[in-house]
Amino acid sequence: MRNVAPRRWLLSVMAVFRKDLHSELRTRYAVSALVMFVITTIAIIMFSLGQENAPPEVLSGMLWVVIFFGAMSGLSRTFVMEEERGTSMTLQLLAPPSAVYFGKLLFNFVLVTALNIFTVLLFLFLVNGFVVQAPLVFILTVFLGGCGFASATTVIAAIIARANTKGTLYPVLSFPILLPLLVAVIDATKSAAEGAPLDQVGGVFQFLISYIVVLTTLSYLLFEYIWKD
């Protein structure tokens, strides 16, 4: 990594984030895809469950399946759009790779958090039998799950933006990397639904934090090579 003045770097990160947010608010490219996907999937789940009450482990799995595929339909846009519109080179001329990575990561985190809140609210109101008995455990799970999703999907989006088969490659590449995260968040969500105390889920949260730190560090180190050529 080349030497970069810290204050300028931070300003650059925030500007990349603001640019992406402004672009998204104007085009609604990713948000439309995410919202339509979540609504459609939850409607299918409601029709398939009918009046039956599924057990918490099944509903926890379903919640994260919706979030996983919702994220797959929208989070790659941040890099794919740059590549498709030919603005990647514009960004390369303006900012160091690390500033682009962290700006995009921040944007994806905001997007995935909004997706998670929207999906969880729909799930709580519309799906029979989905009750959260330990709200703090649940909020922490959704927050850390969102951080993990954003961290993993941002770097994968940067990789697939350069490929020809972007649409299919994204979930295929993301799944093995997100699998440990998915297993952990499904487990923690089930515990939250059953009313488990915070200390009982502590190990899962430690794993989630480690996962986020390791993945973000690796992505930061690799990003310059992915971004430049």
Partner 1 sequence: MTAQIAIKAEGLKKVFNRRVVFEGVSFSLAPTQTLLISGRNGSGKSTLVKIVAGVLSPTAGSVSISGPSEGGYFGHQALIGMVSPYLQMYEEFSAEENLLYASTIRGEAYDQTRAHELLRRVALYARKDDPVRTYSSGMKQRIKYAFALLHRPPILLLDEPMANLDADGIAIVREIMQEHRRNGAVLVATNDLTDVDVYDKRITLDA
Which lies closer to partner 1 via its Cβ, residue 63 or residue 106? 106
Instruction: Among 45, 95, 147, 182, indicate the residue that binds partner 1 (CB under 8 A).
Output: 95
Burial class (CB in 10 A: 0-12, 13-18, 19+), 183: middle
Instruction: Among 12, 41, 119, 216, indicate the residue that binds partner 1 (CB under 8 A).
Output: 12
Stretch that binds partner 1, among 19-27, 108-116, 117-125, 200-208 (CB under 8 A): 19-27
26 binds partner 1 (CB under 8 A): yes
Beta strands in 63-218 (DSSP E): none
Stretch that binds partner 1, among 94-102, 154-162, 164-172, 192-200 (CB under 8 A): 94-102
Instruction: Among 4, 46, 177, 222, indicate the residue that binds partner 1 (CB under 8 A).
Output: 4
Secondary structure of the chain: what % helix, strand, coil (to 5)? 85, 0, 15
- Identity of residue 22: H
CB 34, CB 111: distance < 8 Å? yes
The CB-of-46 to partner 1 minimum distance in angstroms stands at: 35
Instruction: Among 32, 48, 85, 168, indicate the residue that binds partner 1 (CB under 8 A).
Output: 85
- Tokens 């947010």 locate to 21
The CB-of-162 to partner 1 minimum distance in angstroms stands at: 13
CB 83, CB 161: distance < 8 Å? yes
The CB-of-37 to partner 1 minimum distance in angstroms stands at: 22
Tokens of 155: 């770097």
Query: Dihedral sign, CA of 32, 38, 41, 42?
Result: negative
**Within 13 A of 8's CA, how many CA atoms are on the CB side?**
6
Instruction: Among 36, 43, 94, 218, indicate the residue that binds partner 1 (CB under 8 A).
Output: 94
Which residues are near partner 1 by CB under 8 A? 2-5, 7-12, 14-16, 18-19, 22-23, 26-27, 85-87, 89-96, 99, 228-229
